[in-house]
């Protein structure tokens, strides 16, 4: 069943687990490594390391979903049987470490496929309360299953304005056959930085569109007579493109579409 992650949850996933660090920690307790998994015809399984660095035991649930992108809705997750996880649930004592095995159930794929592993911290029954809602932490780990012949991304970008509130976004389309990891970008107008972002922005999946919100740019700051230049680092090297300053109006469904 396909589901769209709510706006606040998408933002939480970005904040918790998508900044390109060698490992991640939530609530100063669980440490996770690595931050993404890549499987191939030659390497059909991998391991994720979970370590409890806190002073109390913690339980987590581990699930995997097929992952797609939508320019308006953001991250779309669907149930899948393509990958197997073991174990799917674990309780870690203080200082304990657990390896979670990820294995593909598919034969060799003909094109790149994309998944998300969600690691949810489960509530402690002893601390549960009827009169309050406890916010637990969720970590989102990208998984890529690659074909024997790995292709290249083919990126393009355009400026759009949301009908509802006029907010500006860059929509990055990938017409290639491989994902592109985007980070550390600048949007220039007449050689001056109009907007910028440090750290991971997200992944532009092949055949799909990633929406990048320009949260610090008002539409009236963009000169219709100018040409914009977007410079961004990718896992395949630096990339830059020229973008028309006249924004296309579109019916955005969410604001936080970063993944």
Is the domain covering 3-145 a CATH 2.60.40.10 domain? yes
User: What are the tens digits of pLDDT across the range 130-185?
Assistant: 555 454 788 999 999 999 999 999 999 999 988 888 889 999 999 999 999 999 99
- In angstroms, the Cα distances linking 47 to 39, 44, 74, 103, 243 are 11, 11, 28, 9, 41
Produce one character per residue of 222-241: b if its CB has 16 or more CB atoms within 10 Å, e if not: beeeeebbbebebeeeebee
3-145 and 155-250 share one fold: yes
Residue length of the chain: 259
List the domain boundaries for the chain: 3-145, 155-250
pTM > 0.85? no
Within 13 Å of residue 83, how many CA atoms lie on the same side as its CB?
Answer: 34
Whole-number Å distance between alpha carbons of 207 and 42: 25
CA angle 197, 198, 202 (to 5 degrees): 75
For the chain, percent of residues with pLDDT exceeding 90: 61
Whole-number Å distance between alpha carbons of 254 and 249: 14
Highest mean pLDDT among 27-41, 76-90, 164-178: 76-90
Q: Which CATH number fits domain 155-250: 3.30.460, 3.30.1120, 2.60.40, 2.30.110?
A: 2.60.40
Tokens in use for 201? 């922005």
């Amino acid at each position: 069943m396909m589901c769209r992650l709510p706006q606040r949850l998408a933002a939480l996933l970005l904040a918790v687990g998508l900044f390109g660090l060698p490992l991640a920690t939530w609530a100063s307790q669980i440490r996770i490594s690595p931050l993404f998994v890549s499987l191939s015809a030659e390497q059909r399984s991998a391991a994720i390391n979970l370590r409890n660095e806190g002073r109390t035991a913690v339980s987590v649930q581990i699930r995997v979903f097929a992952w797609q992108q939508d320019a308006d809705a953001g991250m779309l997750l669907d149930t899948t049987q393509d990958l197997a996880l073991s174990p799917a649930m674990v309780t870690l004592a203080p200082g304990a470490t657990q390896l979670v095995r990820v294995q593909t159930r598919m034969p060799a794929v003909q094109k790149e496929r994309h998944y998300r592993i969600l690691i949810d911290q489960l509530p402690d029954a002893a601390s549960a309360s009827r009169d309050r809602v406890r916010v637990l932490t969720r970590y989102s780990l990208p998984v890529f299953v690659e074909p024997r012949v790995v292709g290249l991304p083919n990126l393009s970008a355009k400026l759009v304005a949301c009908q509802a509130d006029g907010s500006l976004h860059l929509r990055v389309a990938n017409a290639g056959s491989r994902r592109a990891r985007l980070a550390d970008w600048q949007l220039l107008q007449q050689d001056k930085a109009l907007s910028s972002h440090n750290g991971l922005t997200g992944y532009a999946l092949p055949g799909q569109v990633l929406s990048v919100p320009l949260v610090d740019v008002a539409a009236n700051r963009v000169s219709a007579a100018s040409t914009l230049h977007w410079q961004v680092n990718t896992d395949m090297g630096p990339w830059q493109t020229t973008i028309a300053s006249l924004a296309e109006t579109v019916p955005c469904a969410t604001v936080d579409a970063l993944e």
